[in-house]
Every structure is written in structure tokens, then in C-alpha cells.
Amino acid sequence: MKRRSFVAAAAALPAVSILSGTARAQSKEIRMIESGGASGDSIQKGYIDPLFKKTGIKVVRESPSSLGKLRALVESGQTSTTLFELGSGIVLQAKKLGLIEKVDWAAVNPAAMFPEAKNEYGFGYQYFSTIMAWRKGVKEPQNFTEFFDSKAFPGKRCLPDYPHYCLPFALQATGVPIDKLFPLDVDTAFKKLNEVKKDVAVWWKAGAQPPQLMKDNEVQYSICWSGRVVGDPAFGVNFAGGKSDLSFIAVVKGSKPEDKAAAWKLFYEMSLAENQAKAAEVISYTGPSPELDALLPKDKLWQFPTSKQNKAVQYFENAEWWAENGEAVNKKWEAFKLSL
């Protein structure tokens, strides 16, 4: 393509998209990149299947979803992927980097949702917890002070290889209560980790690692994602001091209007309590509807991150603090890892 015609085409592009926007065209198929595994299956069963039944719109899933992939998508100028799953802290980062678009909440017109899930830049679709768990048969810790006390609770530990999952728990072990964790005292947290690092056999990167390592008896105690361990008779769990967090689905920058129109339809399906209950059958994570608890099986309420008894004992992720300080903490984290 000649340079001039390329420029002309580029200039004409917005005009074309405005036209198609006014025509209210709507795609019959959009693509989504999500985090995969059982979580992806829960999106399929809870939201994608009902959407297809009602509207005939297909949503094709891919995984996994890393921020680097999103940056590559946007910088290469492609528009084939419309939806992208991001963690709560990552949404702020992606917004700062200009990688995602605002959600048109008026067009979504969702059912009732918890306010923190209705983000300007994303649909908070899945609450998940990061909690302590252990292999059945060992002494059971009640809080993180006990969890990190290897004299009273002997056994190898498996901790996340991510500072924002590890540091707040280490800080709790020094006696800081969950409502006073932020702003995070990073140095004290690292001091605690330095004391306990000899008991940590594995620092996990993938959520599937800790349950497997506990089953193999390589480690006895883990900090891991709740959905991976609750309901498995091989493990004991405790939500006390755990971290409650929210995963978001965001819209990739530069997505076509007709794809976005389809995305708003999916967001609407995601806001319905009955669909969220279907998703919770696949994985023990919960959606953002205040009416959801009533639809969940009573005997399994203890497994869910948002049920009353669990929500009360956990802290909620402070995404703003991490967006501000994450990179500096990451460098300290790499230095800490070198000292292992």
C-alpha cells in the first residue's frame, strides 16, 4: 500500500466505524482471552452458553491472559479479540497504559451488582480468595501467625511467587490486623519472609502447583487460590486472614463497535444471579450479584469467597496501592528471591 493511500485509509477508518456504530450492527462472533482451566469452563457454562441460546452470539475463548499479551494485541493494532480477563490491580495498570476501553454501562444495563464490580473499565465477574490450606493430618493453623510458625506447626510451606500475594500474609504474621494492612509495611513483611524462607520448599507460579505438591506430600502447608482446594477431602482450609479479590473482564482498546455491542450483551448475561449460580457449579468462585447467595447450595456456602462467614474474616485487595507501588516492590521481590 502506498503511504498516501494508507493515510487516507487510516483517516477514513473512524468515519466507517461511526457509521457502523449508528447502524447498530452487532457481531455474531467475538473472541475472549481468559485465564483458562475450570475458570474458563465456568464462563462457558454460566454466561456464554446462555448468551448463545438467547441471541445466537458466539464467544470463542482462548487462554491464558497475561498483561503482556494484551499489550501485544493493542500495539499490533489487531481488533479480533474483544474481551480480556484481568486481575483487579491489572485493570488499573492496563487503564494507565491505555490498553482497555470504558464499559458502556448504560448499554449493558446490568441487573443489580456489588458496586466495586461495576468498574468504569471492566466488569468484575468473579470473586476469588487466596487462603491458607494444608494436607489433612497435620496441625491446623487458625491464623497467619500460626501458619508461619514452623516450630509449633512443623512442615514445608508452598507460597505464591508473587509479592502481592505473599507480603500481606507475612505482615499478618507479625501481628498486623487485616484492616490495617495498607499502606503495606513492605520492609517488615520482607523481614518476616526472611525468617521463614527456610521452611518454604516451593514458590509457586501456577495455581495448580500447591494442591498437587500437598497431595504428593512435598509440602504440608500452602497459600493458594480457594477454588483449587475447597471441597477436596485431602485438604483442610481456613479463610481467616485470606485475601478476597475480584477478576475483571475488560474490553480491548480499539475493538470494533459491533463487537462491543455483542460484548455488552455478554456482560448483561454475566450480571444475572441465575447465570452466576451456574458458573459457581463449575468452580467455587462467585459472581457480583447481591442475590446470588440465595441461589447457592446451602451446604456449600462455606466454600465461597463471598458468603457471609468468609467475607467477614478476609481483607479485600487494595488494587490502588499495588498500582502505585507494584513495580518498586517487584524489584525488592527479585532481590529477595536471589537470597533464597
Partner 1 sequence: MRTAGRPAPRGPEDDDAMTRSNGFSFIAPLLVLMVVAFNAPIVYMLGLAFWEKGRGFTLEHYEGLAETPVYLRVLGNTMRIALIATIANVVIGYPLAHWMRSLGSRARMFAIALVVLPFWVSILVRTYAWIVVLGNGGLVNRFLQWSGLTDEPVSFLYNELGVTIGMANVLLPFLVLPLFAAMVRIDDRLLQAAASLGAPPRTIFWKVYFPLTLPALAAGALLVFILCLGFYVTPAVLGGGRVPMISNLLDTLINQIPRWEQASAISTILLIVTLLIFAAYRRLDRKASA
Residue 125: strand, helix, or coil: strand
Window 247-286: residues binding partner 1 (CB under 8 A): none
- Answer for which of 54, 136, 139, 337 binds partner 1 (CB under 8 A) is 337
Considering only 12-20, 63-71, 250-258, 294-302, which stretch makes contact with partner 1 by CB under 8 A? Answer: 63-71
Considering only 125-133, 142-150, 211-219, 258-266, which stretch makes contact with partner 1 by CB under 8 A? Answer: 211-219
331 binds partner 1 (CB under 8 A): yes
- Answer for which of 217, 281, 290, 291 binds partner 1 (CB under 8 A) is 217
Nearest residue (CB) to partner 1, 67 versus 295: 67
Q: What share of the chain is helix, strand, coil (3-state, %, to 5)?
A: 50, 20, 30
Please spell the DSSP secondary structure of 58-76, one letter per residue. EEEEE----HHHHHHHHHT
Residue 178: strand, helix, or coil: helix
Q: How far is the CB of 327 from partner 1 (least distance, A)?
A: 7
> How far are the Cα atoms of 161, 190, 220 from residue 213, in angstroms, in the given order?
15, 24, 8
∠ CA 290-323-195 to the nearest 5 degrees? Answer: 100
49 binds partner 1 (CB under 8 A): no
Window 70-99: residues binding partner 1 (CB under 8 A): 71
194 binds partner 1 (CB under 8 A): no
Which residues pair with residue 79 across a beta bridge?
A: none
323 binds partner 1 (CB under 8 A): no
Nearest residue (CB) to partner 1, 112 versus 234: 234
Window 149-188: residues binding partner 1 (CB under 8 A): 161
Cis geometry, peptide bond prior to residue 183 (ω within 30 degrees of 0): yes
Q: Report the number of secondary-structure helices (H) and strands (E) in the chain.
A: 16, 11
CB distance 207 to 228 below 8 Å: yes
Nearest residue (CB) to partner 1, 18 versus 72: 72
Considering only 13-21, 113-121, 246-254, 330-338, which stretch makes contact with partner 1 by CB under 8 A? Answer: 330-338
Q: How far is the CB of 147 from partner 1 (least distance, A)?
A: 18
338 binds partner 1 (CB under 8 A): yes
Give dist(CA 29, CA 171) in Å, integer. Answer: 46
Give dist(CA 308, CA 305) in Å, integer. Answer: 9
Give dist(CA 140, CA 145) in Å, integer. Answer: 12
Packing angle between helix 257-271 and helix 3-22, nearest 10 degrees? 40
- Answer for which of 149, 218, 232, 293 binds partner 1 (CB under 8 A) is 218
Assigned C-alpha cell, 320: 490502588
Count residues near partner 1 (CB under 8 A): 24
28 binds partner 1 (CB under 8 A): no
138 binds partner 1 (CB under 8 A): no
CB distance 213 to 234 below 8 Å: no
β-pairing, 200-204 vs 157-160, is parallel
54 binds partner 1 (CB under 8 A): no
Considering only 65-73, 121-129, 175-183, 272-280, which stretch makes contact with partner 1 by CB under 8 A? Answer: 65-73
Nearest residue (CB) to partner 1, 54 versus 205: 205
- Answer for which of 58, 61, 69, 300 binds partner 1 (CB under 8 A) is 69
Which residues pair with residue 250 across a beta bridge?
A: 84
C-alpha dihedral sign at 63, 64, 65, 69: negative
Considering only 21-29, 44-52, 122-130, 324-332, which stretch makes contact with partner 1 by CB under 8 A? Answer: 324-332
Residues lying near partner 1 in the complex (CB under 8 A):
66-69, 71, 161, 200-205, 216-218, 326-327, 330-331, 334-335, 337-338, 340
